[in-house]
Amino acid sequence: NNNGWDSTLLTFEWWRKAQPEISSYYLLRFLVVRTTMAESPVEVNLIPVEATSESFRDYGQIIEASRDGDHFGPNDAQLDLSRGIPRFYIMRLQDGSFGFSEITHHANVTQCLGSIGGHVWYLGVVKPSLIEDDGSKKVDNVESGSGGHLYVPPAIEEVRLFRISGQKFVKLNRGTWHAGPLFRDSSMDFCNLELSDTNAVDRTVHDFVKNNGVTFRFNPKEEDNTSSS
């Protein structure tokens, strides 16, 4: 018996209050408390936001085509590949899905991802939460990452979902939490720029089921059903 919460689906529109008199903070606190009473994790339904330079600013950059001969500027990817050997490769992902329960960050490198062919895909993100100051500022709930770095775990109310479409790629800031790429097709190829040892030594994972009792899902648009084959 899980008190009827095995099929619970709660929708939060993260960028605005669900009701004028009830803040999303209190709604999420209610979610966390009730989750402890359930045997199954609660599903949180995310609403995709189109990824633009403005909407994605807190997480990285959206890089689009520029004219041949243009000089380097702020619209180009601002990369940090200084802590290892860069690795650029084509990554083939299988069995696309519309949800996730884990989220990852890389503390030592920016990461670039882009769909070959300009297909539609999605990415769940949370702002970077690396702790890199001199230790003078007190921070609660600190954990240690895969490389020994310190960070604050991602909060469920900070999770956003972005839709990426067309000929563009995403540059993730160092430490940006990300889940994906997520897509509709059975397989999709992506360009990936990171370091040669990123997946071996610089991959910190937060499990939302284990730590928060929630999973995330979303409903893609019907027109996003494009084939990558």
- Count CB neighbours of 99 within 10 A: 16
Tell me the average pLDDT of the chain: 85
**22, part of any domain:** no
Domain of 67 in residue numbering reads as 48-211
- Count CB neighbours of 77 within 10 A: 15
**39, part of any domain:** no
pLDDT digits (tens, 9 = 90+) for 118-165: 999 999 999 999 998 655 567 788 999 988 999 999 999 999 999 999
Q: What is the pLDDT of residue 141?
A: 87
Q: What is the pLDDT of residue 95?
A: 84
User: CA 186, CA 164: separation in Å to the nearest integer?
Assistant: 18
**5, part of any domain:** no
What 152-158 contacts at long range (C-beta under 8 Å, 24+ apart), as own/partner pairs, is 153/129, 153/206, 153/211, 154/103, 154/126, 154/129, 154/206, 155/126, 156/28, 156/31, 156/32, 156/44, 156/208, 156/212, 156/214, 157/12, 157/14, 157/24, 157/25, 157/28, 158/14, 158/126, 158/127
Q: What is the pLDDT of residue 18?
A: 45
pLDDT digits (tens, 9 = 90+) for 179-217: 999 998 889 999 999 999 999 999 999 999 999 999 999
pLDDT digits (tens, 9 = 90+) for 56-80: 999 999 999 999 999 999 999 999 9
**73, part of any domain:** yes
Among candidates 226, 168, 190, which has minimal Cα distance to 94? 190
Q: What is the mean predicted confidence (pLDDT) over 96-102?
A: 93
Q: What is the pLDDT of residue 87?
A: 98
Q: What is the pLDDT of residue 7?
A: 40
User: CA 169, CA 122: separation in Å to the nearest integer?
Assistant: 12
Kindly calculate the radius of gyration of the chain based on its CA atoms and give it in whole angstroms.
18
Among candidates 128, 229, 121, which has minimal Cα distance to 174? 128
pTM for the predicted model, two decimal places = 0.81
Q: Is the pLDDT of residue 2 over 70?
A: no
**228, part of any domain:** no
Q: Is the pLDDT of residue 172 over 50?
A: yes
**184, part of any domain:** yes
**55, part of any domain:** yes
Domain total in the chain: 1
Q: Is the pLDDT of residue 228 over 60?
A: no
**Two tokens, residue 111:** 């990461």
Q: What is the pLDDT of residue 44?
A: 97
Q: Which CATH number do you get for residue 64?
A: 2.60.120.480
